Chains A and B, each alone.
Chain A
Amino acid sequence: MKKILILAALILALPAQADRYTAKFGLSQLTIHGNSSVHKWKVETKLIGGFLNVDGAALGKTGPSGATGTVIVPVRQLKSGKKRMDEVMHAAMNEPKHKLIKFTISSLEVNSVKDGVSTCTGKGSIEINGIKKPLTFDVSIASKGNQLTVTGSTPIKMTDFGITPPSPKLPTGNITTDPEVKISFDWVVAKK
C-alpha cells in the first residue's frame, strides 16, 4: 500500500505531458512591414513551419506553460509582389547562405485567459542572417479543436542582424530603407 501511495505521489508530481503541435499549411501568414523614402512596403509568406510542444491544459490557466518550440520561415519565400524588390531583399538578407528565419521559444508564460484565447509572454531567440539575438515577445494563442493559432508581432532592427537596409538605385536617385521593421504573424499548428 505504501509503495502504491509513493508511486501515485510521484506520478502527480510529474509535469503534465506536453503535446506536439506541428505547423499546418494554408492558414499561417507572416508579414514583415517596413518603410522607405518612397513608400511603405511589406513582404509576406504563408510558408511557416516548425512545432510547438505544449500541454493544452496549461494554456488554459495563468502561469508558466512549459511550452517550447521552433518556428522556421524560408527567406526566399518572402514575397512583395515585385520581382526586383524580392531579389534586392533576399540578397540583403544573405539568402543563399542563411536560408531560414528561425524563432526559438524557450518559455511561455500565460498572463490571462479569456474566451479560449490565452495572452502570453514568451522568451526565446530569433535568428536572421545567421545572427541569433534573445527575444521577448507577446502572443495570443487561440485554441480550437486540435488546432492552435499563435498570433503576435515583434519589432526588430535589420542592422542588429548584420543586414544593411537595401538602397536600390533608381534613375531619380537612391531609395533609403528604414532599418526598423515589424514582423507580424498568424502561425497555425495542429496536433496530429
Chain B
Amino acid sequence: MSENKQDFNRRDFISSAGGSLAAMAAMMQAFEARAQDSEGKDSVRRTDDSTPPVKMGLIGYGPHGREIARNLAQLPSAPLVAVADHYGAMQRRAKREHPKAASYDNYQDLLKDENVEGVVIATAPHDHKDIVLAALKAGKHVYCEAPLGGTIADAKAIAQAAAAHPAQNFQAGLQYRSEPQRHFMFPFMRAGAIGKAVHARTQWHKKTSWRFVSPNAEREKLINWRLNPELSPGLAGEIGMHQADLVNYFLNLQPSSVSGFGSTIQWRDGRKVPDTVNLVYQYENGFSLTQELTLSNSFDGEYEVMHGTNSAVMLRGAQAWMYKEADAPLIGWEVYARKMPHYGRPGVVLAAGATTLGKDGKKLYQESTFTQSPLFYGLEAFAYNCHQVKSAVEDFLNTFGEADAETLAAYLADQLGETNSLLPAASAADGYQANVIALKANEAVMTGKRVEIKPEDLTV
C-alpha cells in the first residue's frame, strides 16, 4: 500500500461502482471542450488574431486603468482607441503611453467619439453610475469594474439600465467568472463532485497600504477613496467580493446573513477603514463561508477552498487541486489524473489543459496553459462578446427591422446564450448580486453587527 492513501489506482477504480457519473461526464466534457478549443489558437488566449476587433475607450487612467490598458494592448480584438482622465498628469501619461489613442479630459467627450464602440470604466465605484448610464445612452458597450456601485441604489440603477439596453453588451468586472481555469472547474463543481457542500474558506493576504500619494492634496484625497469610510466598500467590497462571488457561483448558493469584524493593525495612519477583516457568511442550508482579508501580512497569498462531504477543492491562481476523503466514492477519471503534493498531501490536479491528448492518443500532462491574469480574460471575454452581440443585433435588424428591448433581449438570450456563443462573463445581474452581498459584508464589518441578506435584496 502506498503511503499516499489518497492516491487511487486502477484496481480501486474497477472495484468501485459508486462513482459520480454526472461529475465524470461533466469533467470529460470539459476536457473534450478544452481539447477542441485549443486547436489553432494562441494557447494563452481563447480568441485569435482573426477575431473581429471592437474598438475600446478607457475611462480612468489610474493604476487600475493602466493595468487595463496593458492588458488591452495584448488583445488584438480590443484595440484601445481613446482614453479619458480628468486629471492632467494622468491624461498626459496616457498620451505618452498610448499615442495612437485619442485623449480626453472628460468622459462625456470620449462618449461622443464615434470611433469608440465599447468603454471600460476604471474609476472609483461611487463614480460608476453616472458614467455607465451616460455610456449606455451613448450606445456604447460597457465593461464596468466591480463593485458596480458604491451603494446598493447605484448598483441597482446600473443593472436596470443595462437590462434596458439589451443591444449593448454589459459586463460586470467579476473577472474570475471569465478566467479559464475557474470556468473549467465550473461544470465539475456544479455536478457535485465535492459531495454535499459543507464549508468554504477564502484568503487574501497582502502587505500593502492601499494609500496613494500625490503632490496635489486635493488629488490625494480623491485617489484615496478606498480609505474614506463614506466611499469605500472596504476589503469586503474591493477584494472579498470576487472570491465570495466565485464560491456562490460554483455552488449555486446565496448567503442569508453575514457577520464580520475588522481592525487596523498595520497601517495606523488615521484611517477608519480596517486593514484586516474576517467575515462569516451563513446560508439557509447550513453551508458557511469564511473570508480572511488583510493588508498587513502576505504569508500564503490568496486562494479559495471549498469543502464537501467527499472532497475539498482548492483554487490558487491558475491551478486547482482536489483532495478526496478516504471514504469518498471513486469518480473514475481521477485514477488517471496527475497527482501533485500540495499542502502535505497529494492533490489531484484540476488544470485546464492538463489532460490534452497527444497525437498518439497519449496524455500530455502539463500545467494550465491559461497563464494570463483574470483581468486579461475578463477583457478578452468583453471584446469577444461585444462583437457577438453587435453582429447578432445587426443581423436581427437587417432581417426583421426595429424591435423593442424585450424582443431583442429574448432573441439574444436564445441566439447567443442558449448556443454557448459567448465567452463566460459576469452579467449586470451577477454584478449587482455580488455588489449587494459585498456591501452588506462591509456593513457587518463597520457596525460589528450580523447583517441579513434577503432574497429580495438580490433581485434587480
Contact = CB atoms under 8 A, between A and B. Distances in A.
Interface stretch (A6-14, A44-52, A61-69): A44-52
Contacts of A168: 36, 39
Interface stretch (A116-124, A127-135, A170-178): A170-178
Given A45-B415, A82-B36, A25 B359 contact: no
Contacts of B392: 77
Given A47-B396, A79-B421, A169-B40, A25 B358 contact: no
B424 to A, nearest CB: 11
B39 A81 contact: no
Nearest to A49: B399
Nearest to B423: A83
Interface string B330-363: 0000000000000000000000000011110100
Interface string B85-107: 00000000000000000000000
A53 interface: no
A45 B356 CA distance: 32
A75 to B, nearest CB: 9
A32 to B, nearest CB: 14
Contacts of B361: 172
A23 interface: yes
B185 to A, nearest CB: 19
Interface residues of A, number: 26
A72 B398 CA distance: 10
Given A49-B399, A81-B419, A82-B420, A170 B35 contact: yes
B37 interface: yes
B421 A83 contact: yes
Interface residues of B, number: 28
Interface string B428-449: 0000000000000000000000
B249 interface: no
Given A49-B400, A83-B420, A84-B39, A172 B415 contact: no
A23 B37 contact: no
Nearest to B421: A79
A46 B36 contact: no
B370 to A, nearest CB: 15
A91 B50 CA distance: 10
Given A23-B400, A168-B39, A172-B361, A79 B415 contact: yes
B407 interface: yes
B395 interface: yes
A169 B39 contact: yes
B391 interface: yes
Contact of A25 (B33, B39, B50, B407): B407
Given A86-B421, A169-B39, A25 B400 contact: yes
Given A79-B419, A81-B419, A83-B420, A49 B398 contact: yes
Contact of A171 (B359, B414, B420, B421): B359
Interface string B371-407: 0000000000000000000011001101110010001
B365 interface: no
Interface of B: 33, 35-37, 39-40, 50, 356-359, 361, 391-392, 395-396, 398-400, 403, 407, 411, 414-415, 419-421, 423
Given A48-B399, A168-B36, A168-B39, 19 more contacts: A46-B411, A47-B396, A47-B415, A49-B399, A72-B399, A76-B391, A76-B395, A77-B392, A77-B395, A79-B419, A82-B33, A82-B420, A83-B37, A84-B39, A169-B39, A169-B40, A170-B35, A170-B36, A173-B359
23 contacts: A23-B399, A23-B400, A25-B399, A25-B403, A46-B415, A47-B399, A72-B399, A74-B395, A74-B399, A77-B391, A77-B415, A79-B415, A79-B421, A81-B420, A82-B36, A82-B420, A86-B419, A168-B36, A169-B39, A170-B36, A171-B356, A171-B359, A173-B359
Q: List the 3 closest A-B pairs by CB distance, nearest first.
A: A49-B399, A79-B419, A74-B395
